[in-house]
């Protein structure tokens, strides 16, 4: 165990001035406002957690039974049960991974239930993308998918989705087979990591890490891979598929991003969390209640988005994005938010503490996410319109209690072009090649005008200067003619930095600029942005959809494509499960901060070396944006060499 890692991070964090904590100018402005108001943020609380426990930091601790907690030290090379450092690290990583998988699979379950209720006329939702519903049903093998009445077909798809999620034995797998390539199916089958449903790898993972079970570190890491694959197909893909059916497949839409999207004379409502089943209804209710807001003295209602819910309503409805997860407390400190409506995932419990300094209502809606001092309005899809109206009316009434003297809205916002689903991207490409939409992209990659692509995804983390890795890594990559695709909190960072507006193409290398300019002009724009907004975290599934299409067109495996991924500021267990899925697909993935694996040389070697032999991809780590870009570019160049493409 290397305690120097812990001490090095402690020194770096304690030495940071405000300007070192974030590159978001609105955050920098709001730090002082928050302090004067008595608002404590994640940036403040991080300091009080230093130095971190070196045993937890490196993964060599275990509290899975009452004989412990145990740790590996100079005088104790095993836990009470005999677990080694390798076993402790592998068990901990598997538990983290299955927690991430559980989060996304449960998200998918909620969307499937909403679709089922809509199909049966029990909930006020409609089918907004019938052609996609029929394509999905056909790919799943449902007979009569082309002619069956739409609501009957929606019910069939929803029931099959729920069956796939809950499969308790090897009788599922249709969703996975619909979206995976044959080469990957064969690879995963050979390794024994092919999941047949969404919940089984979670159940199995918790079982095998409990007292007296799996103590083979290699086998435990295979369990991580299995859980990651389940996340990708029964969590991410299933969520995106059904959300597109219910709410429409995203198309490019202009909006704005940054704290400046708040409106001082309007009722401001922030939707925060992950599932659009609620936020779509909040937007509808806000539109219907504009006159009520005017009666309360406001000019109207302004809905904004935070985190992945923000991405969902941005990409489909053009709702402005106020910020990502680490902006959430400072957004409250503007004094202009009348309500923050949350569903689940990435919700800081401290939001209610920040809200006490202002008039803001924190409204929880999910039975599994309740916060002390928040108001709770239980969301039920069957009463979706009624519940959304009640929430919006609470925000309107709360507007009357706003103290104008406490309002401070930073004047920072940036134009953003969002909503690049694969379908939308293909529509843009078809302007240049109607009969073969992928051809312009393939030709650009073959010639080297687009050297490759990197998906920058995931969370924001105060251990990393906020937004810096996301933004600086993207700038480094696009300068090298590498296209960037972004989702989640990373997408918010890129949007705020101007990398998701057409004018941002000028920041790219000259060859990538030419491609972005040609595609943009074909679509009636100045250019395409150098970082494409692909949506929320579950929309990472769209990246696999694109990779599969490219691989099948070229007749190669995904692992051979000149692509890579990065989660440069990740913090959640969900990011670990997504990253594991990416590596399982054959996409080498950069992560930062360092996962809790340094205490096991075996596990570290499995993830950073041996995984490439098994899966064609591995994890890499760096905390410096330029060095990270160097590493990712070398991955892409090596793929190009193997394909015989110019480098």
pLDDT in tens, 549-564: 999 999 999 999 999 9
Average pLDDT of span 568-592:
98
Beta partners for 281?
Answer: none
CATH of domain 420-643: 3.40.50.2030
- Is the pTM above the cut of 0.85? yes
Q: What is the number of other CB atoms lying within 10 angstroms of the CB of residue 47? A: 12
Half-sphere exposure of 572 (CA within 13 A, CB side): 25
Q: Judging by beta carbons within 10 Å of its beta carbon (0-12, 13-18, 19+), is residue 17 exposed, middle or buried? A: exposed
**Of 426, 429, 402, nearest to 339 (Cα)?**
402
Parallel/antiparallel/unpaired status of strands 70-71 and 61-62: antiparallel
* Dihedral (CA of 276, 278, 284, 287) sign: negative
Instruction: Say how far apart CA 467 and CA 323 lie, in whole Å.
Output: 11
Give the pLDDT score at 171: 60
Half-sphere exposure of 196 (CA within 13 A, CB side): 9
Give the pLDDT score at 3: 64
**Cβ-based neighbours of 562, under 8 Å, separated by 6 or more:** 445, 451, 452, 453, 636, 637, 639, 640, 643, 645
Q: What percent of the chain is predicted at pLDDT more than 90?
A: 97
**Of 571, 540, 573, nearest to 202 (Cα)?**
573
What's the DSSP call for residue 538? G
Buried b (16+ CB within 10 A) or exposed e, 57-68: bbbbbbebeeeb
Parallel/antiparallel/unpaired status of strands 452-456 and 563-567: parallel
Tokens 């240049």 map to which residue?
A: 432
Instruction: Say how far apart CA 307 and CA 78 lie, in whole Å.
Output: 41
**Of 552, 550, 586, nearest to 442 (Cα)?**
550
Give the pLDDT score at 169: 66
Give the pLDDT score at 340: 98
pLDDT digits (tens, 9 = 90+) for 400-421: 999 999 999 999 999 999 999 9
Average pLDDT of span 242-259:
98
Give the pLDDT score at 196: 87
Tokens 């402690």 map to which residue?
A: 10
Q: pLDDT-derived band of residue 4, with 50, 70 and 90 as boundaries?
A: confident
Token pair for 257:
């991003």
pLDDT digits (tens, 9 = 90+) for 5-39: 898 899 999 999 999 999 999 999 999 999 999 99
Average pLDDT of span 239-268:
98
Phi/psi of residue 461, nearest 5 degrees:
-145, 125
Q: What percent of the chain is predicted at pLDDT more than 70?
A: 99
Instruction: Say how far apart CA 372 and CA 535 lie, in whole Å.
Output: 31
Contact (CB, 8 A) for 289 and 300: no
Query: How far out from the chain centre does Cα 583 lie?
Result: 16
Half-sphere exposure of 630 (CA within 13 A, CB side): 7
Give the pLDDT score at 528: 98
pLDDT digits (tens, 9 = 90+) for 143-180: 999 999 999 999 999 999 999 999 866 666 899 999 99
Task: Tell me the CA end-to-end span of the chain in Å, nearest whole number.
Answer: 40
Phi/psi of residue 183, nearest 5 degrees:
-60, -40
**Count of all residues that appear for the chain in the document:** 647
- Domain 85-247 = CATH 1.20.1270.30: yes
Phi/psi of residue 112, nearest 5 degrees:
-65, -40
Instruction: Say how far apart CA 69 and CA 58 lie, in whole Å.
Output: 15
Complete edge-to-edge strand list for the sheet that includes strand 375-376: 375-376, 361-364, 337-342, 267-273, 301-306, 321-323, 253-257, 414-418
DSSP of 397-441, one letter per residue? HHHTT--GGG-------EEEEE---HHHHHHHHHTT-TT-TTHHH
* Dihedral (CA of 316, 321, 323, 328) sign: negative
- 3-state SS of 324-375 is CHHHHHHHHCCCCEEEEEECCCCCCCCHHHHHCCCCCEEEECECCECCCCCE
**Of 413, 411, 396, 384, nearest to 301 (Cα)?**
396
CATH of domain 259-406: 3.40.50.2030
**Cβ-based neighbours of 569, under 8 Å, separated by 6 or more:** 458, 459, 460, 461, 464, 466, 467, 469, 470, 489, 490, 592
pLDDT digits (tens, 9 = 90+) for 338-375: 999 999 999 999 999 999 999 999 999 999 999 999 99
Beta partners for 531?
Answer: 484
Token pair for 286:
């806000």
280, pLDDT greater than 60? yes
Instruction: Say how far apart CA 417 and CA 425 lie, in whole Å.
Output: 13
**Of 305, 298, 292, 303, nearest to 393 (Cα)?**
292
DSSP of 218-254, one letter per residue? HHHHHHHHHHHHHIIIIIIIHHHHHHHHHH-----EE
Q: Where does CATH 3.40.50.2030 sit in the chain?
A: 259-406, 420-643
The better pLDDT of the pair 2, 160 is held by 160
pLDDT digits (tens, 9 = 90+) for 290-326: 999 999 999 999 999 999 999 999 999 999 999 999 9
What's the DSSP call for residue 192? T
Instruction: Say how far apart CA 431 and CA 442 lie, in whole Å.
Output: 15
Instruction: Say how far apart CA 243 and CA 480 lie, in whole Å.
Output: 35
Region for residue 538 given its phi and psi (left: phi exceeds 0; alpha: psi -120 to 50; beta: otherwise): alpha
Q: Where does CATH 1.20.1270.30 sit in the chain?
A: 85-247
Average pLDDT of span 52-77:
95
User: CA gyration radius for the chain?
Assistant: 24
211, pLDDT greater than 60? yes
């Amino acid at each position: 165990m290397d305690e120097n890692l812990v001490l090095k991070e402690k020194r770096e964090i304690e030495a940071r001035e405000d300007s070192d904590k974030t590159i978001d100018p609105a955050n920098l402005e709001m730090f002082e406002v928050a302090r004067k108001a008595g608002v404590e943020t994640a940036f403040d609380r991080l300091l009080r957690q230093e130095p971190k426990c070196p045993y937890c930091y490196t993964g060599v601790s275990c509290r899975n039974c009452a004989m412990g907690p145990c740790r590996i030290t100079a005088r104790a090379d095993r836990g009470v049960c005999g677990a080694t450092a390798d076993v402790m690290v592998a068990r901990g990583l598997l538990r983290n991974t299955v927690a991430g998988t559980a989060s996304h699979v449960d998200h998918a379950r909620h969307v499937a239930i909403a679709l089922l209720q809509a199909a049966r006329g029990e909930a006020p939702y409609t089918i907004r993308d019938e052609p996609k519903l029929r394509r999905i049903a056909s790919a799943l093998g449902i007979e009569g998918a082309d002619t069956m009445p739409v609501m009957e077909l929606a019910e069939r798809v929803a029931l099959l989705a729920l069956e796939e999620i809950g499969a308790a034995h090897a009788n599922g797998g249709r969703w996975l087979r619909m979206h995976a390539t044959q080469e990957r199916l064969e690879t995963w089958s050979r390794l024994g990591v092919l999941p047949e449903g969404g919940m089984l790898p979670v159940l199995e993972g918790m079982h095998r890490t409990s007292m007296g079970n799996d103590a083979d570190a290699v086998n435990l890491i295979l369990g991580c891979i299995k859980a990651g694959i389940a996340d990708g197909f029964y969590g991410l893909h299933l969520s995106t598929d059904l959300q597109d059916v219910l709410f429409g497949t995203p198309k490019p839409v202009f909006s704005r991003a940054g704290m400046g999207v708040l409106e001082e004379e309007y009722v401001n409502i922030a939707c925060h969390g992950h599932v659009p089943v609620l936020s779509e209804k909040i937007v509808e209710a806000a539109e219907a209640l504009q006159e009520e807001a005017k009666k309360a003295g406001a000019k109207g209602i302004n809905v904004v988005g935070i985190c992945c819910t923000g991405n969902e309503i941005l990409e489909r409805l053009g709702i402005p994005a106020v910020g990502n997860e680490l902006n959430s407390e400072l957004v409250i400190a503007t004094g202009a938010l009348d309500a923050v409506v949350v569903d689940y995932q990435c919700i800081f419990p401290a939001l209610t503490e920040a809200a006490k300094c202002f008039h803001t209502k924190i409204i929880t809606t999910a039975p599994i996410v309740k916060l002390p001092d928040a108001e709770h309005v239980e969301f039920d899809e069957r009463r979706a319109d009624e519940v959304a109206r009640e929430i919006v009316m609470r925000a309107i009434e709360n507007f009357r209690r706003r103290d104008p003297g406490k309002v401070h809205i930073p004047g920072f916002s940036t134009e953003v072009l969002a909503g690049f689903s694969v379908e939308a991207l293909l529509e843009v490409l078809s302007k240049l090649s109607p009969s073969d939409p992928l051809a312009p992209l393939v030709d650009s990659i073959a010639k080297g005008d687009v050297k490759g692509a990197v998906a920058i995804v995931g969370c924001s983390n105060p251990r990393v200067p906020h937004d810096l890795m996301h933004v600086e890594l993207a700038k480094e990559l696009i300068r090298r003619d590498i296209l960037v695709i972004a989702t989640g909190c990373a997408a918010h960072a890129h949007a705020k930095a101007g990398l998701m507006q057409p004018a941002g193409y000028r920041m790219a290398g000259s060859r990538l600029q030419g491609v972005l300019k040609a595609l943009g002009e074909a679509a009636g724009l100045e250019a395409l942005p150098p970082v494409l907004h692909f949506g929320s975290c579950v929309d990472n599934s769209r990246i696999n959809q694109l990779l599969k299409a490219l691989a099948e067109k070229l007749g190669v495996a995904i692992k051979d494509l000149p692509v890579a991924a990065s989660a440069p500021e990740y913090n959640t267990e969900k990011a670990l499960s997504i990253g594991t899925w990416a590596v399982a697909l054959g996409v080498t993935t950069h992560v930062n901060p360092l996962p809790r694996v340094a205490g096991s040389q075996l596990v570290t070697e499995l993830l950073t070396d041996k995984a490439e032999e098994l899966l064609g991809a591995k994890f890499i780590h760096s905390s410096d944006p330029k060095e990270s870009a160097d590493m990712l570019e070398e991955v892409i160049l090596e793929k190009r060499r193997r394909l015989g493409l110019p480098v």
